[in-house]
Amino acid sequence: MVTEFERLKEDLLMLPPESRASLARTLIQSLDESVDEQAESLWLEEILRRDAEIRSGTANLKPAQQVLQEARDLIRCLK
């Protein structure tokens, strides 16, 4: 027996990619209405710490192209 949810899902998956992406953004935003102030504060501290490391020259930086290649290699290993 096909549920209403499954029918709706099938219909939505037939939408063009742009429409599905827009719907996905809207659904995700609807789930993320509350803000965790503690998490926001911790992320800000982390951002400031990393910024200070970069400015002081103590951060271990990699070129973006290298990071992207490493990510692609990892994804290939997971398949």
Q: Which residues of 55-68 are buried (b: 16+ CB within 10 A; e: fewer)?
A: eeeeeeeeeeeeee
pLDDT in tens, 5-60: 999 999 999 999 999 999 999 999 888 777 788 998 999 999 999 999 999 999 99
Q: Are 54 and 61 in contact (CB under 8 A)?
A: yes
Pairwise CA distance, residues 32 & 26, whole Å: 10
Is the separation of the CB atoms in 43 and 52 below 8 Å?
Answer: no
- Count the neighbouring beta carbons within 10 Å of the beta carbon of residue 71: 10
pLDDT at 79 exceeding the cut of 90:
no
Q: What's residue 29's pLDDT?
A: 87
Identity (one letter) of the amino acid at 43?
W
- Note the pLDDT tens digit of each residue in 56-71: 999 999 999 999 999 9
